[in-house]
Amino acid sequence: MDGRAETGNLGAYLSRIGAALDEFLLAEHGDAMTRHADWSMALDRPLPVEGVGGEAVIEELARTVIPNGTRLSEPGFWGWVTAGPGTIPAVASLAATVASPQRYTITAFNRLEELSLDWLADLCGLPGHMKGVYSSGGSVANLVALGAARQWALEQAGIDPAADGLGSTPVALPVALYASEEAHHTVQRAAGVLGLGRRSVRHIATDDRQRLDLTALAQALADDVAAGILPLAVIATAGTTNTGAIDPLRGAGELAREHGAWFHVDGAYGLPGILDQRLEPLYRGIELADSAIVDPHKWLGAPVGIAATFVRDRSILHRAFTQESSAYLEGAFAEPDDVRVSLDSMGVPYADFGVELSAPARGVVVWSILRELGRRGVRERIRRDNDFARHLASRVRLSNRLELVAEPVLSICCLRYRTEATDDLDALNAALLRRLVAETPYLPSSTVVKGRFAIRPCFINARTELEHVDAFCDAVIRIGDELALSIPAASLT
């Protein structure tokens, strides 16, 4: 080898990999751990002195790596709020990797970055004035949104936190953020990274449907104001990851306005649920949001690594996240009125709206989904997944061996097996879940609702059919019955 990597034969190599991926998606390969010794032995080698060449690498990918990948694309995978991507967005992602490795400069990809953000905001019912920026996932999307909240709220107090730091005033200004006990834990991390402190997050109680309790929120806000603490942001969740609960958006937004706080809506999973007309009333108040996030890699079927943050005024993001100009970057471009080739301008300056400079062109992936399905197609997908959760809930209600732990709102259904053979239903259902994952094609996760362990399928997988939901329910009953019969003879653990 002369040190030059393969730069041709893309079509031939993609054909080979495409065939291997099509075979993988048949879900007939079983779990990777059943072959762990084989593939780990094949892969765990020292750094080679001499390379094997492109064709050999492609064959190793096709024969050893791909068949032993994750099971997220299988129709029974309902454990995480992500699933395997659809064909079209997967191909669009590859197209961007080759034709536009970065989202910048005056290209079709840069245009689709902005266009797809506008389409996504429209799809999710956000006001037309809200503009966005893509990032790698809900964790970063929430960080960016709360960075905007920090910037705006402290500017009202005469502080520029991004430019001068949180310690730029003679007297420290204590702040607080408010989110329900069911809010995603990345809120605490964002508060820590932004220098606000994880302990500045007030964990507000929820009602009997796991929604933010407005009375408790109002009391927490009033108590902090009386103590001289600045309410920086109220965070409502439109679709919690535990149960799919939707906080009372209008009430939360009005309380935020009353106390001069930023109102953020975390819709990473559930914001597309607004497309289900049966649920649209639950989203009233979204127009009050100062910021909102949604993850296309969740319910819209994009490859993992795509989230969007929207704010009412993108100049706030610029003040919060600008990296300042540099000679090698901005200085390399032409004046705005002298742009003649694509590399004369960065295009929309997304680098100053978030935490990433180098970033892939994610917009083409979202554009491909919305172009392929349209609003109607996405709506039908959302309704179908919500119907799966409702169908499962109806089966649970009809069974004397199952219990509904939380009423479905979106596409999550929390249930558990029950029996009088044991008082420890948590241990029984934990053992049931482990057997489900090990012995069947169905891979839900678990959660705890009102102190009770629950089995939690989240239906966002485009490959799922109603027959899979019914077979899953049958499997829960069958395994639960077997465990119940074994209780006198052996420990569940």
DSSP 185: T
Task: Count up the domains in the chain and report the number.
Answer: 3
CA angle 441, 446, 450 (to 5 degrees): 150
Same domain, 366 and 392: no
pLDDT of residue 349: 84
pLDDT in tens, 322-345: 987 665 566 666 566 666 766 656
Averaged pLDDT score across all residues of the chain: 92
Residue 173, both tokens = 């200004």
To 10 degrees, what angle do helices 138-156 and 314-321 make? 90
Expressed in percent and rounded to 5, the helix, strand and coil fractions of the chain are 45, 15, 40
Residue 168: pLDDT band (50, 70, 90) is low
The answer to whether residues 363 and 391 belong to one domain is: no
pLDDT of residue 28: 87
Residue 31 sits in the same domain as residue 127: no
Residues 53 and 127 in one domain: no
Same domain, 302 and 442: no
Asked whether residue 84 is domain-assigned, the answer is no
What is the domain extent for residue 44?
Answer: 10-69
Nearest to 316 by CA among 135, 156, 134: 156
In a domain, 114, yes or no: yes
pLDDT at 41: 92
Element (H, E) at 456: strand 452-456
Task: With cut-offs at 50, 70 and 90, classify the pLDDT of residue 439.
Answer: very high
Model pLDDT for residues 446-477, shown as the tens digit of each residue: 999 999 999 999 999 999 999 999 999 999 99
Structure tokens at 34: 């059943």
Predicted confidence band of residue 348 (pLDDT cuts 50, 70, 90): confident
Q: Are residues 60 and 99 located together in one domain of the fold?
A: no
